[in-house]
Chain A
Amino acid sequence: MDTIPILQLDDFLLISIQVEMHDRLALQLQDELTERVVKTKAKGVLIDISSVETVDSFMGRMLGNIALMTQLLGAETVVAGIRPAVAITIVELGLSLPNVRTALNVNSGMAMLRQLAGTSVGGNGHERQPE
């Protein structure tokens, strides 16, 4: 069975969706990601969907749920790399992603996350908490 690897970079979790998402996989990703945000105390999640050819309302709901859950856990979610044909289709489908921030690509998505988390670009992001 497929799984979607969740990578960690500094205080951020990165996912690149490279496989066709079926519904069970989407729900599994949602759960795993929430757990990982808690476990790693991540400040942000970047979801790269530049390989995704179809975003339907199920996938849209999953992205919205991930964004909402991570927000409740103190992290931000950015969805990067929506293809133009997918963007056109999402609008006509009527999908609005109210909690989801979007970026053109992975680079600008990471920059956005670092800014949201208040760490400068290139910083190691491991600030020490005062005792």
Chain B
Amino acid sequence: MSVSQSETAQIQDSEDIVRLRQRVRDVMKNEGFSLVDQTKMVTAASELARNTLIYGGGGTVILDILKSQVGRVGLRLFFEDHGPGIADIDQALKDGFTTGVGLGLGLGGSKRLVNEFVIDSGPDAGTRITITRWR
């Protein structure tokens, strides 16, 4: 597997979330992803970017286009923040769990919307989440 294109974006305000949604949409359109694939990945990106902003206090996202050895194309997003981190990841992933005013669907929902979901977080260790969707 190789990375054929990579770019980084900041997530510092709610307009950055909109920009990321548009960028993910454009890249996936270009790479020939279906409309449903695009919509699922854009929605997951929106959820995770909002968490990065609200709970992580802002952060970055790296957007990579992947090419597998057998020629499959994927889009990978890596979200990183240096906020308070998540103490109990299993609990945070449960639908309906929130420490804020949200619906508690962001983590569990985005996990369902992508093909691969990896989370690395801990108290005072920030949060890193990688999601991948294959065409």
Give A residues with C-beta under 8 Å from B: 20-24, 53-58, 60-61, 83, 85-86, 88-89, 92-95
Contacts and interface: CB of A to CB of B under 8 A. Distances in A.
B33 to A, nearest CB: 11
Interface of B: 14-15, 17-18, 21-22, 25, 35-36, 38-40, 42-43, 46-47, 50, 95, 102-103, 105-106, 108-110, 112-113
19 contacts: A20-B18, A20-B22, A22-B14, A54-B42, A54-B46, A57-B103, A57-B105, A57-B109, A85-B38, A85-B39, A88-B36, A89-B39, A89-B43, A93-B110, A93-B112, A93-B113, A94-B108, A95-B105, A95-B109
Contacts of A93: 43, 47, 105, 109-110, 112-113
By secondary structure, the B interface counts as helix
Given A57-B47, A58-B50, A86 B39 contact: yes
Given A58-B50, A85-B39, A94-B109, A22 B102 contact: no
Closest 5 pairs (CB-CB, A-B): A93-B109, A23-B14, A85-B39, A56-B46, A57-B105
B25 A53 contact: yes
Nearest to A56: B46
Given A57-B105, A85-B36, A92 B47 contact: no
A94 B112 contact: yes
Contacts of B18: 20-22
Contacts of A58: 46, 50, 102
Contacts of B39: 53-54, 83, 85-86, 88-89
Contact of A22 (B17, B42, B113): B17
